[in-house]
Amino acid sequence: MLTPPPPPPVASPVRKGGFPWLAALMFLLLMGSMVVNLVLLVALAGDGGGSGLGGSTRYQEMLVDGESRADDKIVMLSVKGVIMDGVDGTARPGTFDSIRSQLRKIKKDDTVKAILLSVNSPGGGVTESDRIYNELKLFREETGLPIVALFGDVSASGGYYISMASDHIIAHPTTVTGSIGVISQFFQVSELMGKLGVDVETIKSLRSDSSESFKDIGSPYRPMTPAERKLLQGLISEMWERFVSVVAEGRKGKIPEQRVRELADGRVFTGPQALEVKLVDQIGYQEDAFAKCRELGKAPQAKVVRYKKEPSLTDLLTMSAHPAPPSLEEMLREVTFDSPRFLYLWTSR
């Protein structure tokens, strides 16, 4: 009897080493990342840092003087350092943006009775200074709230300009102020380049009569022509006239415009000297400024507070990239060296 052949062996299924689990894990991680990004996007859209998609800056109130239980308040706004717009490549707001956002908050608070503008600045950009002045002036006209300016170590040029929106100016005995004028500086290195054997060829558009245009006015690679100097001087003079008119309006009834013109030669004054020529109203200290705010605001028991910006999600996300604010040297370089600018600035550079 024949024995049947054994059945062929059955192949065992090939195991794939758990690959489906790895794929599932990767899928979950991808979905989680998408959810996190979506949450961040929504948060930024409603971010209180003002750098999202339409949010407004949130502030905490910090007590400076008076009783914390007091209902009425005086808000201290600080302008420190060079007056300039935001620093390129950072999330740092410009001086104007910071002042405007705080004024918007004040407008919504009926308990605010006066503003204390603390100024410690050598000035800065012409346009940035004018924007702050105009914002403060409109605020005072719209709200009727008094503004008292308190000068620190230096409140000159643009620092003095923005203070013309105030009702009363107090300077410390050691304050340096004034410097009513406009400046613009240009490097001139053509002689040095000639010694080094270096030349720069410039191709520029011409005037309609095919003569040399002003396209490269202020170039450091060649001397300035008389026509270019005349043109720039005309711009400076027009901005100087603007400065004089703002001071004449701000000190109306205290200094005649002709006297303002005499003082607007760029000179600086100590606090007592400024009081003598009526550029300021009082010599005093911070406590005197508090008292004046309470007097003008008709709120003798008002507390004095300042705003501290709450860190937004944007700030937290960018903090590692920008751990420190720019130094004074960096800010001065930004407004004086990086590009030709017109400045309300007291500087020896």
Active site residue 155: no
CB-CB neighbours of 265 under 10 Å: 11
Q: Which of 157, 166, 179, 219 is catalytic?
A: 157
**Phi, psi dihedrals of residue 64, rounded to the nearest 5°:** -110, -40
**Cα–Cα distances in angstroms (integers) from residue 285 to residues 120, 145, 252, in the given order:** 14, 21, 24
Q: Which of 107, 204, 215, 298 is catalytic?
A: 215
Find all residues with CB under 8 Å of 331, minimum gap 6, and list them. 81, 82, 84, 87
Q: What is the secondary structure of 286-328 as a DSSP string?
A: HHHHHHHHHHHTT-TT-EEEEEEEPPPHHHHHHTTTS-SPPPH
Find all residues with CB under 8 Å of 263, minimum gap 6, and list them. 178, 180, 255, 277, 279
**Phi, psi dihedrals of residue 124, rounded to the nearest 5°:** 170, -140
Active site residue 309: no
Q: How many residues does the chain have?
A: 349
Residues annotated as part of the active site: 157, 215
